[in-house]
């Protein structure tokens, strides 16, 4: 129930390579800016195609260059949480979450709407507009929408970036709940040693 990744990508004179061995809990990609951490997330999501290698999540093969397998983005069931929340500004929180749930009607979600709202403590936010949310609240809603979309694993690209101490704590508690209560495979990008020490079950240095 984790990641098995061995990929290589060349872009011009740059070469990105990453190996992630199966491990329980949350796996962190750790390293300086420009090391290729977000590029690895994009390869798992299907947004970038590796030159060679394989990507397996929960023993399901999403990409294998030797076998000619490259699962379409929409069928990978990846929940991607970007550095910005990217909520729909014209929809209230409830409708942002329901948007993800409509996709799950086809994919099959691991968690129901009410359960996700309770787990992520979103009930007080449901009738609010995205513009009224704090950074931490917006990230929690983005995580909820990803979960409700039918995600079988989460990709988190520096989810605590640009947040103050209190908001960072809020999001870290959310990630801990997902890790401990759902046992959901998560791959997170960070360059913060404190986040690594607190959250990581395994670390891949880049």
Structural domain spans, the chain: 3-205
Which residue matches tokens 């891949």?
Answer: 204
What does the pLDDT look like over 117-148, one tens digit per residue? 999 999 999 999 999 999 999 999 999 999 88
Q: Quick one: pLDDT at residue 204? A: 95
Of residues 48 and 191, the one with the higher pLDDT is: 48
The pLDDT > 70 percentage for the chain reads: 96
Q: What CATH architecture is 3-205?
A: 3-Layer(aba) Sandwich (3.40)
Residue 23 pairs in a beta bridge with none
Residue 18 neighbours by CB under 8 Å, 6+ apart: 5, 6, 7, 29, 36, 40, 43, 204, 206
pLDDT of 87 over the 60 cut: yes
Residue 117 neighbours by CB under 8 Å, 6+ apart: 97, 123, 126, 144
User: In 3-state terms, what secondary structure has residue 98?
Assistant: helix
For the chain, report the end-to-end CA distance as a whole number of angstroms. 23
pLDDT of 110 over the 90 cut: no
Q: What are phi and psi of 122, to 5 degrees?
A: -100, -5
Q: Quick one: pLDDT at residue 50? A: 97
Average pLDDT over residues 171-192: 91
Element (H, E) at 56: strand 52-57
pLDDT of 109 over the 80 cut: no
3 vs 200: CA distance, rounded Å: 14
State the pTM of this model. Answer: 0.91
pLDDT of 107 over the 80 cut: no
The pLDDT > 90 percentage for the chain reads: 70
Residue 105 neighbours by CB under 8 Å, 6+ apart: none
Structure-block tokens of residue 68: 């000619």
205 vs 35: CA distance, rounded Å: 9
Range list of β-strands (E), 114-201: 153-157, 186-190
Confidence of residue 5 (pLDDT cuts 50, 70, 90): very high
What does the pLDDT look like over 52-85, one tens digit per residue? 999 999 999 999 999 999 999 989 999 999 988 8
Confidence of residue 105 (pLDDT cuts 50, 70, 90): low
Mean pLDDT for the chain overall: 91
pLDDT of 1 over the 60 cut: no
Element (H, E) at 3: strand 3-11
């Amino acid at each position: 129930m984790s990641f098995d990744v061995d990929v290589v990508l060349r872009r011009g004179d740059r070469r990105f390579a990453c190996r992630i061995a199966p491990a329980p809990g949350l796996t962190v990609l750790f390293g300086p800016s420009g090391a290729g951490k977000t590029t690895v997330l994009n390869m798992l999501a299907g947004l970038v195609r590796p030159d060679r290698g394989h990507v397996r999540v929960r023993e399901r093969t999403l990409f294998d260059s030797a076998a000619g397998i490259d699962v379409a983005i929409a069928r990978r069931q990846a929940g991607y949480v970007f550095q910005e929340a990217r909520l729909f500004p014209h929809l209230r929180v409830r409708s942002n979450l329901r948007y993800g749930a409509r996709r799950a009607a086809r994919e099959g979600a691991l968690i129901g709407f009410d359960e996700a709202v309770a787990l992520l403590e979103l009930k007080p936010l449901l009738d609010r507009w995205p513009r009224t949310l704090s950074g931490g609240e917006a990230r929690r809603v983005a995580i909820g929408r990803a979960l409700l979309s039918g995600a079988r694993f989460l990709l988190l690209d520096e989810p605590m970036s640009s947040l103050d101490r209190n908001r960072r704590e809020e999001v870290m508690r959310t990630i801990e709940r997902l890790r401990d209560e759902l046992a959901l495979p998560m791959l997170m990008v960070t360059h913060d040693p404190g986040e690594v020490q607190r959250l990581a079950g395994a670390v891949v240095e880049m």
